[in-house]
């Protein structure tokens, strides 16, 4: 097992490096939690509706599905299948409320016993079509308690352990979870308390990227497995190319943050860079060079401050320390996550001082931005001064703004209204 884990951790194309260590993964936990809370609120208020399309559930599941390859297709289990009338949480109000109670309990609780009790309660309802795929939502609430779930993960677990876990049953999932916890504890030095790591390993095994080691102490079988494992190296060139493309995306994201940093300074503002981005290399230094090391107390101690610290770029007035503008750079990542981080700021005590919030994205993403803002979950967005700032406008005007601009007017002039 150790040779497999070591090879897997070093493989640039495996989920450990391409997803688990991906910085955007951590950023998305809060936005997905916020989305789940919105689902609960609508179910409790009786406004959730009877359709998946356009619902707050579709919004949050779509955000989960964007978490790179391990969650691709996460929305399939929640899509309404009219011939089978599943999952039965759209037409049956009582089942819908039971689903809401499960999510609400898991949002509010903090122990393993409470989470498992909530799962067993929903299992007892025997809601048709509502199976352990829900664990993909619960994982983002309790990553050290609930492992992610999909067909590839089940296949990987069965191949690794010799089990015969079946899809679609909560009792089978809970039994698999116990086995996953045991494996994780045994190899914790190469895995993580966050069960996303071992989930990624099982996904790579189940999707065929890696062969599972033989379970018997058979020298011939182990030698054959070592040979199969060596073949994985042949995929190294493709993986390296994919990693290079991902790194290029990250570098573009960082470069745009750097442009906004420099522009903010030239306009006379203090600048804050997202807490988990400030050490990224840029132009021979670090992205956070010359920026604030701590948010002012009025901001840093306010409700929702943890989310505000992760906003890509903030401009603050030097005299008062108030946040004047917020920028979320969405090169390829989910527009949804950036909007949610801005909502935490816009609905907090700093909202009155804001002169603008900007989603900064490639020129071709305007339609996607507008589509996200049209979702019911963002019905209050018209009040929040959110604008779309295309890369092209920023690139074409940044030098002139830096030389001749004053205050927020030049940025507002090149940004586009979204509502």
Strand pairing partners for 357?
326, 386
Q: Specify the pLDDT at position 218.
A: 60
Q: Specify the pLDDT at position 217.
A: 57
Phi, then psi, of 113 in degrees rounded to 5: -60, -40
Residue 218 lies in a domain: no
Residue 24 lies in a domain: yes
Please, how many CA atoms are within 13 Å of residue 306, restricted to the half-sphere of its CB? 7
Out of 171, 194, 213, a domain closes at 213
Q: Is the pLDDT of residue 228 over 90?
A: no
Split into its structural domains, the chain has a count of: 2
State whether 209 and 252 are in the same domain: no
- Give the angle subtended at the CA of 213 by the CAs of 209 and 215, to the nearest 5°: 145
In this prediction the pTM is 0.67
347: CB partners within 8 A, 6+ apart? 304
Confidence tier at 40 by pLDDT (50, 70, 90): very high
pLDDT tens figures, 252-304: 888 899 999 999 999 999 999 998 888 888 888 999 999 999 988 888 887 77
Tokens of 188: 């914790």
Residue 393 lies in a domain: yes
Tokens of 320: 């008062």
Confidence tier at 225 by pLDDT (50, 70, 90): very low
Residue 19 lies in a domain: yes
- Start-to-end CA distance of the chain, whole Å, equals 54
State whether 29 and 140 are in the same domain: yes
Q: Is the pLDDT of residue 360 over 60?
A: yes
Average pLDDT, the chain: 84
pLDDT tens figures, 140-192: 999 999 999 999 999 999 999 888 888 888 989 999 999 999 999 999 999 99
State whether 251 and 199 are in the same domain: no
Rounded to an integer, the average pLDDT of 230-234 is 51
State whether 178 and 291 are in the same domain: no
Out of 194, 213, 232, a domain closes at 213
Residue 220 lies in a domain: no
Q: How many angstroms separate the CA atoms of 190 and 388, rounded?
A: 42
State whether 274 and 171 are in the same domain: no
Q: Specify the pLDDT at position 204.
A: 94
State whether 18 and 134 are in the same domain: yes
State whether 81 and 207 are in the same domain: yes
Q: How many angstroms separate the CA atoms of 175 and 355, rounded?
A: 52
Q: Specify the pLDDT at position 313.
A: 94
Q: What CATH number did the domain enclosing 384 receive?
A: 3.40.91
Confidence tier at 232 by pLDDT (50, 70, 90): very low
Question: CB neighbours (10 Å) of residue 150?
Answer: 25
State whether 249 and 167 are in the same domain: no
47: CB partners within 8 A, 6+ apart? none
Residue 237 lies in a domain: no
> Where is pLDDT greater, at 234 or 274?
274
State whether 257 and 137 are in the same domain: no
> Averaging pLDDT over each range in 73-77, 225-229, 339-343, which range is the top one?
73-77
Handedness of CA 126, 85, 51, 56 (dihedral sign): positive
CA 211, 212, 215, 220: dihedral to nearest 10 degrees? 20
Residue percentage of the chain with pLDDT more than 70: 84
Residue 130 lies in a domain: yes
Residue 227 lies in a domain: no
> Where is pLDDT greater, at 225 or 22?
22
CA distances from 281 to 242, 245, 247, 252, 273 (A): 20, 17, 12, 12, 13
Q: Specify the pLDDT at position 386.
A: 80
Q: Specify the pLDDT at position 233.
A: 46
Out of 190, 213, 236, a domain closes at 213
State whether 106 and 173 are in the same domain: yes
* Strands 356-361 vs 323-329: parallel, antiparallel or unpaired: parallel
State whether 38 and 175 are in the same domain: yes
State whether 209 and 255 are in the same domain: no
Boundaries of domain holding 110: 2-213
pLDDT tens figures, 397-411: 989 998 888 888 899
């Amino acid at each position: 097992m150790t040779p497999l884990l070591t090879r897997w951790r070093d493989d640039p194309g495996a989920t450990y490096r391409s997803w688990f260590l991906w910085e955007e993964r951590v950023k998305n936990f809060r936005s997905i939690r916020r989305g789940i809370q919105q689902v609960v609120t609508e179910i409790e208020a009786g406004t959730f509706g009877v359709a998946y399309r356009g619902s707050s559930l579709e919004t949050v599941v779509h955000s989960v599905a964007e978490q790179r390859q391990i969650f691709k297709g996460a929305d399939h289990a929640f899509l309404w299948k009219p011939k089978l009338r599943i999952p039965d949480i759209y037409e049956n109000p009582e089942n819908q409320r039971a689903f809401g109670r499960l999510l609400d309990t898991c949002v509010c609780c903090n122990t393993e016993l409470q989470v498992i009790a909530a799962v067993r309660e929903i299992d007892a309802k025997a809601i048709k079509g509502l199976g352990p795929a829900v664990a993909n939502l619960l994982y983002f609430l309790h990553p050290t308690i609930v492992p992610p779930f999909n067909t590839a993960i089940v296949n990987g677990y069965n191949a690794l352990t010799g089990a015969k876990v079946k899809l679609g049953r909560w009792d089978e999932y809970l039994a698999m979870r116990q086995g996953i916890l045991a494996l994780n504890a045994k190899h914790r030095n190469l895995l993580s308390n966050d069960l996303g790591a071992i989930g990624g390993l099982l996904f790579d095994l189940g999707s065929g990227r890696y062969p599972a080691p033989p379970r018997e102490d058979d020298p011939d079988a182990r030698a054959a497995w070592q040979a199969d494992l060596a073949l994985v190296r042949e995929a190294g060139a493709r993986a390296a190319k994919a990693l290079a493309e991902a790194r290029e995306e990250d570098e573009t994201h960082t470069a745009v943050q750097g442009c906004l940093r420099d522009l903010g300074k030239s306009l006379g503002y203090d600048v804050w860079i997202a807490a988990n981005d400030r050490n990224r290399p840029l132009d021979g230094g670090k992205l956070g060079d010359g920026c604030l090391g701590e948010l002012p107390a009025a901001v840093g101690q306010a409700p929702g401050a943890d989310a505000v610290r992760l906003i890509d770029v903030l401009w603050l007035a030097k005299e008062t320390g108030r946040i004047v503008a917020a920028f979320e750079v969405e090169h390829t990542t989910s527009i949804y996550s950036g909007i949610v981080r801005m909502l935490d700021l816009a609905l907090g005590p700093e909202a009155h001082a804001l002169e603008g919030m900007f989603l900064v994205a490639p020129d071709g993403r305007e339609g996607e931005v507008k589509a996200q803002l049209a979702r019911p979950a963002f019905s209050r967005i018209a009040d929040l001064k959110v604008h779309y700032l295309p890369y092209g406008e920023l690139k074409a005007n940044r030098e002139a703004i830096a030389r001749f601009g004053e205050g927020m007017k030049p940025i507002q002039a090149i940004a586009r209204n979204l509502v």
